[in-house]
Amino acid sequence: MTYIPKPGFRHPGAAVNAIGYARRDYEGAVSTLCAGCGHDSISAAIVQACFELDLPPHRVAKLSGIGCSSKTPAYFLGQSHGFNGVHGRMPSMLTGANLANRDLIYLGVSGDGDSASIGLGQFAHCMRRCVNMVYIVENNGVYGLTKGQFSATADEGAVKKDGAVNPESPIDLVALALQLGATFVARSFSGDREQLVPLVKAAITHRGAAFIDCISPCVAFNNHAGSTKSFDYVREHNEAVNRLDVIVGRGEITAAYAPGEVEEIVQHDGSILRLRKLAAEYDPRDRVAAMTYLEERKAAGEIVTGVLYVAPDARDLHDHLETVETPLNQLGDEELCPGADALAAFNAGLR
Amino acid sequence: MRPTDIRSPEYFHKVVDCQWACPAHTPVPEYIRLIAARQYTDAYMINWKSNVFPGILGRTCDRPCEPACRRVRVEKEPVAICRLKRVAADHKEDVRGLLPRVPAEKNGKRIALVGAGPASLTVARDLLPLGYACVIFDADPKAGGMMRSQIPKFRLPEEVIDEEVGYILEMGVEARFGHHVDSMRALLREPYDAIFVGSGAPRGRDLDLPGRQAAAANVHVGIDWLANVSFGHVHRIGERVVVLGGGNTAMDCCRSARRLGGQDVRVVVRSGFEEMKASPWEREEAVREGIPILNYLVPLEFTVERGRLTGVLFEKVRAVYDANGRRELVPTGEPRIHMPCDDVLIAVGQETAFPWIERDLGMEFDRWDRPVLDPVTMQSTLPRVFFGGDAAFGPKNIIWAVAHGHEAAISIHRLCRGEDVHDRLPPTVNLVSQKMGIHEWSYDSEISPDERYRVPLAPQAVALKNIAVESELGFDERLAFLEAQRCLNCDVQTVFTGSRCIECDACVDICPMDCITFTANGEEEDLRARLRAPARNLTQSLYASDALKSGRIMVKDEDVCLHCGLCAERCPTGAWDMQKFLLDMAQATDVPKHACAHR
Ligand SMILES: Cc1cc2nc3c(=O)[nH]c(=O)nc-3n(C[C@H](O)[C@H](O)[C@H](O)COP(=O)(O)OP(=O)(O)OC[C@H]3O[C@@H](n4cnc5c(N)ncnc54)[C@H](O)[C@@H]3O)c2cc1C
Ligand SMILES: Cc1ncc(C[n+]2csc(CCOP(=O)(O)OP(=O)(O)O)c2C)c(N)n1
Ligand code: SF4
Ligand code: SF4
Ligand code: SF4
Ligand SMILES: [Mg+2]
Contact status, residue B2 vs residue B545, Cβ threshold 8 Å: no
Which of B386, B416, B446 marks a domain boundary?
A: B416
What's residue A76's pLDDT?
98
Q: What is the maximal distance between C-alpha atoms in chain B?
A: 90
b or e along B27-40 (b: 16 or more beta carbons within 10 Å of the residue's beta carbon)? bbbbbbbbbbeebb
Q: How many other CB atoms are found less than 10 A from the CB of residue A195?
A: 22
Which amino acid appears at position A220 of this protein?
A
What's residue A250's pLDDT?
56
Mutate to test the interface with A, among B441, B448, B502 (most CBs of A within 10 A): B502
Answer whether residue A275 shows pLDDT above 90.
no
Which of B373, B389, B416 marks a domain boundary?
A: B416
Q: What is the DSSP letter of B472?
A: B
In a domain, B567, yes or no: yes
Q: Output the residue whose Cα is nearest ligand 5's atom 5.
A: B503
Which of B334, B349, B364 marks a domain boundary?
A: B349
Residue of chain B whose alpha carbon sits nearest to that of A38: B504
Same domain, B213 and B192: no
* Distance from Cα A30 to the centre of ligand 5, integer Å: 17
Same domain, B281 and B377: no
What is the β-pairing status of strands B516-519 and B553-557? antiparallel
What is the β-pairing status of strands A242-248 and B240-244? unpaired
Q: How many other CB atoms are found less than 10 A from the CB of residue B333?
A: 9
Whether residue A191 and residue B503 make contact (CB cut-off 8 A), yes or no, is: yes
Whether residue A13 and residue B534 make contact (CB cut-off 8 A), yes or no, is: yes
ipTM of the complex: 0.90
B41: exposed, middle or buried (Cβ count in 10 Å: 0-12, 13-18, 19+): middle
Please give the residue range of the domain that contains residue B140.
Answer: 101-202+352-416
Answer whether residue A255 shows pLDDT above 60.
no
What is the β-pairing status of strands B350-351 and B203-204? antiparallel
Same domain, B259 and B358: no
Mutate to test the interface with B, among A1, A3, A4 (most CBs of B within 10 A): A4
Whether residue B572 and residue A5 make contact (CB cut-off 8 A), yes or no, is: no
What CATH number is given to the structural domain containing B193? 3.50.50.60
In degrees and rounded to multiples of 5, residue A161 shows phi and psi of -60, -30
* Distance from Cα A72 to the centre of ligand 2, integer Å: 14
Which amino acid appears at position A123 of this protein?
F
Same domain, B257 and B341: yes
Q: How far is B14 from chain A (nearest CA, A)?
A: 20
Contact status, residue B40 vs residue B91, Cβ threshold 8 Å: yes
What's residue B589's pLDDT?
84
pLDDT class of A246 with cuts at 50, 70, 90: confident
Answer whether residue A158 shows pLDDT above 80.
yes
In a domain, B176, yes or no: yes
Which residues from A are below 8 Å from B486, CB to CB?
none
Which amino acid appears at position B174 of this protein?
E
Over range A277-297, report the average pLDDT: 91
What's residue A265's pLDDT?
87
In a domain, B498, yes or no: yes
The set of long-range contacts for B450-457, using a CB threshold of 8 Å and a minimum separation of 24, is B450/B482, B450/B485, B450/B486, B451/B75, B451/B76, B451/B77, B452/B76, B452/B77, B452/B78, B452/B79, B452/B80, B452/B483, B452/B486, B453/B80, B453/B479, B453/B482, B453/B483, B455/B80, B455/B83, B455/B479
What's residue A312's pLDDT?
87
Same domain, B338 and B402: no
Interatomic CA distance for residues B136 and B138, integer angstroms: 7
Same domain, B195 and B308: no
Same domain, B192 and B262: no
What's residue B597's pLDDT?
41
SS (H, E, C) A62-95: EEECCCHHHHHHHHECCCCEEEECCCCCHHHHHH
The 10s digit of each residue's pLDDT in A182-240 is 999 999 999 999 999 999 999 999 999 999 999 999 999 999 999 999 999 999 999 99
Q: How many structural domains is chain B composed of?
A: 3
Which residues from B are below 8 Å from A231, CB to CB?
502-504
Atom of ligand 3 nearest to the CA of A221: 2
Atom of ligand 3 nearest to the CA of A140: 3
pLDDT class of A257 with cuts at 50, 70, 90: low
In a domain, B79, yes or no: no
Q: Which residues pair with B72 in a beta bridge?
A: none
Residue of chain A whose alpha carbon sits nearest to that of B564: A7
* Distance from Cα A23 to the centre of ligand 6, integer Å: 27
Q: Output the residue whose Cα is nearest ligand 5's atom 1.
A: B571
Pocket of ligand 2 (CB under 6 A): A 66-69, 87, 111-114, 118, 138, 140, 142-146, 151
Same domain, B186 and B299: no
In a domain, B460, yes or no: no
Which residues from A are below 8 Å from B501, CB to CB?
none
* Weakly modelled stretches of chain B, pLDDT under 70: 591-599
User: Domain A23-321: which CATH class?
Assistant: alpha beta
pLDDT class of A261 with cuts at 50, 70, 90: confident
Whether residue B564 and residue A1 make contact (CB cut-off 8 A), yes or no, is: no
b or e along B208-238 (b: 16 or more beta carbons within 10 Å of the residue's beta carbon)? ebebbeebeebbbbbbbbbbebbeeebeebb
Lowest-confidence segment of A272-281, A284-293, B486-495 by average pLDDT: A272-281
In a domain, B42, yes or no: no
Q: How far is CA B82 from CA A269, B15, B53, B184, in A?
A: 61, 19, 12, 37
In a domain, B57, yes or no: no
Q: What is the DSSP letter of A257?
A: -
Whether residue A40 and residue B509 make contact (CB cut-off 8 A), yes or no, is: yes
Interatomic CA distance for residues B425 and B594, integer angstroms: 6
Instruction: Select from A141, A254, A121, A132 the least CA-distant residue to A189.
Output: A141
Lowest-confidence segment of A204-218, A225-239, A245-259, A331-345 by average pLDDT: A245-259
What CATH number is given to the structural domain containing B548? 3.30.70.20
What's residue B60's pLDDT?
97
What's residue B596's pLDDT?
43
Question: 3-class SS at B459?
Answer: coil
A49: exposed, middle or buried (Cβ count in 10 Å: 0-12, 13-18, 19+): buried
Q: How many other CB atoms are found less than 10 A from the CB of residue B81?
A: 26
Q: Output the residue whose Cα is nearest ligand 3's atom 6.
A: A34
In a domain, B86, yes or no: no
Whether residue A7 and residue B550 make contact (CB cut-off 8 A), yes or no, is: no
